[in-house]
């Protein structure tokens, strides 16, 4: 009888250990799941877009402070420049940017070859959607803007290739606008009609 009691106690002890282990694993899983959900909501480097100013400039809420961000390597036709008429495809580029990123969270990435801010004190950044899509790539590839290569940046060749492909495919502004190239190589569209 004593032997049967000892076996019974061991069996109960193993069940208690097993139940404690399962409870511990459930707690760990719930904790990890909770942390993952919090990280999705508040990911470092993901900032809410508060306004799309035009095709290549946005504002973001950066930890409670509003920052204006100019997208690196992209130039879209003008819509808000003082003393400059709205350019062909400027409104379309602004609308496309709004549709693509307004109200979204974006990741901003600096370029080591570029400065941190431009002469207007705007942050200069690559802008990525939360899914990893590079916004500048979409705008240039779909013909909403030009590769802006007046300043060095790591993706210069990549952006030039996107522009060439859009031009060859007659996409966006390449199909409907007169493109003017200044002596310094900057491309612009003629004023909208």
61 token code pair: 């809420």
Question: H or E segment at 164?
Answer: helix 156-168
Three-state DSSP state, 141: helix
Q: Is 70 a catalytic residue?
A: yes
Q: Is 40 a catalytic residue?
A: no
* Contact of 147 with 159, CB cutoff 8 Å: yes
Cα angle at 91 between 90 and 96, to 5 degrees?
100
Beta partners for residue 49, in sequence order: 60
Q: Is 81 a catalytic residue?
A: no
Residue 48: which residues within 8 A CB-CB, separation 6 or more? 60, 61, 103, 104, 105
Choosing from 51, 91, 107, 122, the catalytic residue is 122
Report phi then psi at 93, rounded to 5: -65, -40
Query: Which residues are identified as catalytic?
Result: 70, 78, 122
């Amino acid at each position: 009888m004593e032997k049967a009691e000892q076996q019974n106690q061991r069996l109960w002890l193993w069940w208690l250990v097993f139940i404690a282990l399962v409870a511990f694993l459930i707690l760990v899983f719930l904790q990890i799941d909770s942390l993952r959900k919090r990280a999705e909501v508040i990911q470092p480097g993901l900032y809410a877009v508060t306004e799309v100013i035009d095709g290549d400039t946005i504002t973001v809420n950066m930890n409670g402070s509003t920052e204006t961000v100019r997208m690196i390597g992209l130039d879209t036709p003008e819509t808000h420049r003082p003393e400059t008429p709205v350019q062909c495809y400027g409104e379309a580029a602004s609308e496309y940017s709004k549709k693509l990123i307004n109200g979204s969270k974006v990741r901003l990435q600096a370029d080591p070859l570029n400065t941190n801010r431009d002469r207007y004190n705007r942050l200069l950044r690559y802008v990525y959607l939360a899914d990893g899509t590079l916004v500048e790539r979409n705008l240039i590839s779909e013909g909403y803007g030009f590769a802006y290569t007046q300043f060095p940046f790591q993706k210069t060749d990549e952006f030039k290739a996107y522009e060439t492909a859009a031009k060859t495919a007659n996409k966006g502004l390449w199909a409907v606008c007169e493109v003017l190239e200044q002596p310094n190589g900057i491309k612009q569209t003629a004023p909208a009609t």
